[in-house]
Chain A
Amino acid sequence: MKTELRTNLKAIFGRAYVRLVGAHREPSWLISEALLPLLSTASFVYVYKALKAPEEYTGFVILGGAMTAYWINVLWSMAAQFYWEKEMGNLELYLVAPISRMAILLGMATGGFYLASTRAIFVFVVGSLIFKVNFVVISLGKLALIFFLTQVALYGLGMMFSSLFMLFGREAWHTTNLFQEPIYLLSGFFFPVKSLGFTIGLLASFIPLTLGLDGMRQLAFKGGKESGLLNVNLEIGILVILSIFFLIAAHYALKYMENMGKKEGRLTLRWQ
Chain B
Amino acid sequence: MSYAIETLELTRTFKKGKKKNNSNSKQPELIMALDEVNLTINPGELFGVLGPNGAGKTTLIKILSTLLLPTSGIGLVDGIDVAKYPEKVRKKINMVSGGEHSGYGILTVRENLWMFSQLYGMQTKVALQRIDELMNLLGMQEYSRLKISKLSTGMRQKMNIIRGFVCDPQILFLDEPTLGLDVQISREVRKLIKSWVKEKKEKTVLLTTHYMAEADELCDRVAIIDNGKVLACDSPSNLKTSLKQDAVFHIEVNLMLDNLDRFNQIPGVRKFAYEHKPHTGRTDLKFILENDSYISAVTGEISNNGSEILSLSKTEPTLEDVFVSLCGKGLEDENRT
Contacts and interface: CB of A to CB of B under 8 A. Distances in A.
Interface string A25-58: 1100000000000000000000000000000000
Contacts of B283: none
A98 B68 contact: no
A55 to B, nearest CB: 42
A18 B90 contact: no
B68 A14 contact: no
Contacts of A15: 115, 118
Nearest to B147: A25
B87 A265 contact: no
B99 interface: yes
Interface stretch (A87-95, A145-153, A217-225): A87-95
Nearest to B115: A14
Interface stretch (B100-108, B210-218, B222-230, B306-314): B100-108
B66 A96 contact: yes
Nearest to B102: A89
Nearest to A100: B87
Nearest to B122: A10
A3 interface: yes
A93 B106 contact: no
Contact of A96 (B65, B111, B122): B65
B272 interface: no
B107 A262 contact: no
Contacts of A13: 118
B175 A272 contact: yes
Contact of A89 (B68, B91, B101, B122): B101
A85 B91 CA distance: 22
Interface residues of B, number: 37
Interface of A is mostly: helix
A132 interface: no
Contacts of A90: 102-104
A26 B163 CA distance: 25
A110 to B, nearest CB: 13
A6 interface: yes
Interface string A259-272: 00011010110001
A237 B62 CA distance: 45
Given A26-B106, A272-B175, 5 more contacts: A17-B118, A88-B103, A96-B67, A96-B90, A272-B176
Interface of A: 3, 6-8, 10-11, 13-15, 17-18, 21-22, 25-26, 88-90, 92-99, 262-263, 265, 267-268, 272
29 contacts: A7-B119, A10-B118, A10-B119, A11-B121, A14-B116, A14-B117, A15-B118, A18-B106, A18-B115, A21-B106, A21-B111, A22-B107, A88-B102, A89-B97, A89-B100, A90-B102, A90-B104, A93-B95, A93-B116, A93-B163, A94-B119, A96-B90, A97-B120, A98-B91, A98-B119, A99-B119, A262-B69, A265-B14, A272-B58
The 3 A-B pairs of least Cβ separation, nearest first, read A14-B118, A7-B121, A97-B119
